[in-house]
Amino acid sequence: MSASAPNLRAVGEPAERRPQAARPAIRIKDLQKSFGALVAIDRVSVDIEPGEFFVIVGPSGCGKTTLLRMLNGLIAPDAGEITVDGAPPHPGPDMGFVFQSFRLLPWRTIRGNVAFTGEVNGVDAPVLRERTDRYLDLVGLRRFADAYPNELSGGMKQRAALARALVGDPHYLLMDEPFASLDAQTREFMQLELMKIWYERRNTVVFVTHSVDEAILLSDRIVLLRPRPGQVAEIIDVDLPQPRWTYDVRARPEFVALRQHLWDRIRAMVASDPQSEFYERNEVRAG
């Protein structure tokens, strides 16, 4: 491998740059999931370390969202195992979830929306008030606490959704393409805000995206899934220095090389997938 090539790690081989915890935060082993005759996930195995920012990428329909929902216990696997802190996953205060859509309650103020998760989880009122104000400050929405969702821009609504997920003080944060509906400029600002929040809190984050650039910018590691049925194609360490909002990540040669590698692999997968509308439109074939 040339000196300029991205740092690729074989599946199952420990990452040299990150000390391994005694037990992974999340363990996924031989996971399988079907919906009728459709096999969505097929024998996926990966360990996610405590405090890691772990990103899932792959072609459309490869099972990224299905995998994320199984991590939260919203969907049960057909076979294999998922453990979170050594136990089966289940929705609760330790597991924050940020969806693709904002899912704010239109009849509640932004403060009321952010506090909602804590109310459901039975957080004491004085503690919840303090947390709500803290996370409104953290995402830059304190001035808009008494506004309603229809009065805010898309980026502000997504910041409110992020604050709502954080107000329960979760150990884990699952994010399903949370910035996909935002315009390019707002998306970049939200990426910066998320990096700062994660760097301060060090939650274990599992983030789903279609964007190769976003995956590299945010992650400690990336898992690339094959087209349906979703299988692990490779797991890649992203060794770009932290904190990443202090310099131009995209200008670094490591970023450029890794972006090219991931895009070439995804393009080849899509072009060689008979289920894809782009099948055989490109002579590159999946490796």
pLDDT in tens, 162-171: 899 888 888 9
Listing DSSP states for 136-159 in one string gives HHHTT-GGGTTS-GGGS-HHHHHH
Q: What is the pLDDT of residue 140?
A: 86
Band of residue 20 on the pLDDT scale cut at 50, 70, 90: low
Backbone angles phi, psi at 260, to 5 degrees: -60, -45
Give dist(CA 190, CA 160) in Å, integer: 11
pLDDT tens track for 53-93: 999 999 888 889 999 999 999 899 999 999 999 999 988 87
pLDDT tens track for 91-141: 887 888 888 778 899 999 999 999 998 888 888 889 999 989 988 988 889
Ordered domains of the chain (ranges, CATH): 1-94+171-287 (3.40.50.300), 103-170 (no CATH)
* pLDDT top residue among 158 and 151: 151
Band of residue 262 on the pLDDT scale cut at 50, 70, 90: very high
Give dist(CA 184, CA 12) in Å, integer: 35
All residues at 6 or more sequence positions from 94 whose CB lies less than 8 Å from its CB, including other chains: 84, 168, 170, 171, 172
- The continuous run of DSSP H or E covering 54 comes out as strand 53-57
Residue 51 has pLDDT above 50, yes or no: yes
Q: What is the pLDDT of residue 275?
A: 65
- Cis check for the bond before 241: say yes or no (omega within 30 of 0): no
Record the tokens describing residue 104, joined without a space.
């704010």
When pLDDT is averaged across residues 206-235 and rounded to a whole number, the result is: 94
Other Cβ atoms within 10 Å of 2 Cβ, number: 5
Contact yes or no for 93/170 (Cβ under 8 A): yes
The alpha carbon of residue 46 and the mean position of all alpha carbons in its chain are separated, in whole angstroms, by 15
Residue 251 has pLDDT above 90, yes or no: yes
What percent of the chain has a predicted confidence (pLDDT) above 90?
57
Q: What is the pLDDT of residue 166?
A: 87
Q: What is the pTM of this model?
A: 0.85
Mean pLDDT across the chain, nearest whole number? 86
Residue 14 has pLDDT above 50, yes or no: no
